[in-house]
Amino acid sequence: MPTSDLFGAKPYERYELPDVIKDRHRHNELIKYASSLLARDCPLSEAKILFKDAWQRCEQPPTARFPITLEEAYSKLKDVYSRYPAGRSEAYQKRSASSQQQGASPQSQPAPTRRRLPTGRRTSGTHAPSWHISSSSLMHA
């Protein structure tokens, strides 16, 4: 099972818009969708047409606390298109090529182990800080 990124998208999976974009998820969902369109080299003029459908799926008052206008949605799209280059990232392409050479599909690769830090935050197994002390090492002291 692949791990999730900061916005909850799983690597190597195509982003799909939810049927309804809930109030507290509108920003992240619209940014993920805009990034997905950009990664697929969708021209901005076409992306605006598709993005209007995404905006129409967003909850609006009275279900949502505040409205989101079409102009606000378009500003998120334009921000993503102005901030990042079109197409897949170089890191994505390297990971994809690496997994193809190994003969394994990206979804079949095991998720990294997770362990708790003293502050209560989680970290991936390979990214744990060197100062991390496990509870088992404290028992032997």
What's the token pair of residue 107? 């979804």
Q: How far apart are CA 56 and CA 20, in angstroms?
A: 9
Question: Are residues 18 and 74 located together in one domain of the fold?
Answer: yes
The pLDDT of 27-46, averaged and rounded, is: 95
Domain that holds residue 137: 112-141
Question: Are residues 138 and 101 located together in one domain of the fold?
Answer: no
- Non-local (6+) Cβ contacts of 35 within 8 A are 15, 80, 84
**Which one has a higher pLDDT value, 91 or 16?**
16
- Range list of H helices, 15-85: 26-39, 44-56, 70-83
Average pLDDT of the chain is: 76
Question: Are residues 101 and 69 located together in one domain of the fold?
Answer: yes
**Domains in the chain: how many in total?**
2
- Flag whether pLDDT at 4 surpasses 70: no
* pLDDT tens string 54-71: 999 999 999 999 999 999
Question: Are residues 29 and 49 located together in one domain of the fold?
Answer: yes
Question: Are residues 48 and 79 located together in one domain of the fold?
Answer: yes
With cut-offs at 50, 70 and 90, classify the pLDDT of residue 132: very low
In percent, the amount of the chain with pLDDT more than 90 equals 50
Question: Are residues 74 and 62 located together in one domain of the fold?
Answer: yes
The pLDDT of 27-41, averaged and rounded, is: 95
In percent, the amount of the chain with pLDDT more than 70 equals 60
Specify the amino acid at residue 108.
S
Question: Are residues 89 and 29 located together in one domain of the fold?
Answer: yes
CA-to-CA dists, residue 138 to 120, 134, 135, angstroms: 17, 7, 5
Question: Are residues 33 and 98 located together in one domain of the fold?
Answer: yes
Question: By three-state DSSP, how is residue 83 classified?
Answer: helix
- Flag whether pLDDT at 124 surpasses 90: no
Question: Are residues 52 and 74 located together in one domain of the fold?
Answer: yes
Question: Are residues 45 and 99 located together in one domain of the fold?
Answer: yes
Question: Are residues 38 and 50 located together in one domain of the fold?
Answer: yes
Question: Are residues 100 and 125 located together in one domain of the fold?
Answer: no
- Picking from 31, 33, 39, the residue whose alpha carbon sits closest to that of residue 53 is 33
* pLDDT tens string 71-119: 999 999 999 999 999 988 777 777 767 766 765 555 555 555 554 555 5
